[in-house]
Amino acid sequence: MVDVYVDSAVKDVRHLYDSIITMDLSNTSILQFLRLQSETLVQAHAKQDKTVIFQLSCWCHDFRGKPPNEIMTHVLTTDMANQTIASEYGYDNWSEVESLSGTMHHLEFETCVDHMLNGEIDQLTLALANNPALAIQQSQYGHQSTLLHYLAANGVETHRQVTPANASQLAQCLIDHGTDVNAQANMYGGSKALGLLLTSAHPKNAGVVDEVAMVLRLAGAVES
């Protein structure tokens, strides 16, 4: 089993949403999936569960830059929670999420993301060999990340901002199967994987940022 670096605040988020992010997505639309998270966020905040602080401080427009005590004493409305989850998944507003009521997850892509972030290179390699299009596919979520963007652990959904110890091998695997190292995703107004990697604390704290950056640069990646 490969070691995976998970920041303590990310661990809290993963714990808060554990029953949701591990659920079978085959019969769950994107709207249903995100609505469950919004409802959980409201309930946890009402119970004064401080694990919500990191997520709200990152993604909630009303709480950015606010101290933890202000975040916990302020009322968190359903609209605020909806906006938080919408922003986290790369949407401009909750109305965009609501328009996805009939949109189901692309299970093959979502499974590849999980394989990669767990460091499961054999499973990832097999999936890419069976369906090479996965190497260039973009997420159905608003940020439209490729698998390579997810490996940068920056600007995607919080619970997926983790770094496996074999990140450089995973990056090379994606490159070998035809990923576009300079593909653009929607976070922060438009971002490439290398720029996201170099500005993310997670790969740095995991001690892999330099080796992953080298792999990407040798494949022609640029920061912006």
- Average pLDDT value for the chain: 97
Coil/strand/helix, residue 90: coil
Please, which pLDDT band fits residue 185 given cuts at 50, 70 and 90? very high
Q: Can you give the residue range of the structural domain that contains 140? A: 106-218
Q: Closest Cα to residue 216, out of 159, 160, 148, 121?
A: 148
State the residue for tokens 């469950």.
Answer: 36
Do 180 and 90 have their domain in common? no
CA gap 10, 25 in Å, rounded: 21
Do 136 and 57 have their domain in common? no
Give the residue from 42, 65, 98 where a domain finishes. Answer: 98
Residues 6+ apart with CB under 8 A from 21: 14, 159
- 35, part of any domain: yes
Please, which pLDDT band fits residue 140 given cuts at 50, 70 and 90? very high
Do 54 and 131 have their domain in common? no
Q: Is the pLDDT of residue 1 over 90?
A: no
Q: Is the pLDDT of residue 147 over 90?
A: yes
Amino acid 85: pLDDT: 98
Do 41 and 119 have their domain in common? no
Do 94 and 111 have their domain in common? no
- The residues with which 5 forms a beta bridge, in sequence order, are 163
Give the residue from 72, 98, 124 where a domain finishes. Answer: 98
Q: Is the pLDDT of residue 101 over 90?
A: no
Compute CA distances 130 → 123, 142, 179, whole Å.
11, 26, 15
Tens of pLDDT, residue by residue over 42-86, are 999 999 999 999 999 999 999 998 999 999 999 999 999 999 999
| Helix (H), strand (E) at residue 4 | strand 4-5
Amino acid 159: pLDDT: 98
- 123, part of any domain: yes
> Looking at the 3D structure of the chain, how many domains does it have?
2
Give the residue from 98, 125, 149 where a domain finishes. Answer: 98
- 7, part of any domain: no
- 177, part of any domain: yes
Amino acid 53: pLDDT: 97
Amino acid 127: pLDDT: 98
CATH number for the domain spanning 212: value is 1.25.40.20
Do 115 and 86 have their domain in common? no
Do 89 and 153 have their domain in common? no
Do 46 and 136 have their domain in common? no
Please, which pLDDT band fits residue 142 given cuts at 50, 70 and 90? very high
Do 72 and 156 have their domain in common? no
| Helix (H), strand (E) at residue 44 | helix 30-46
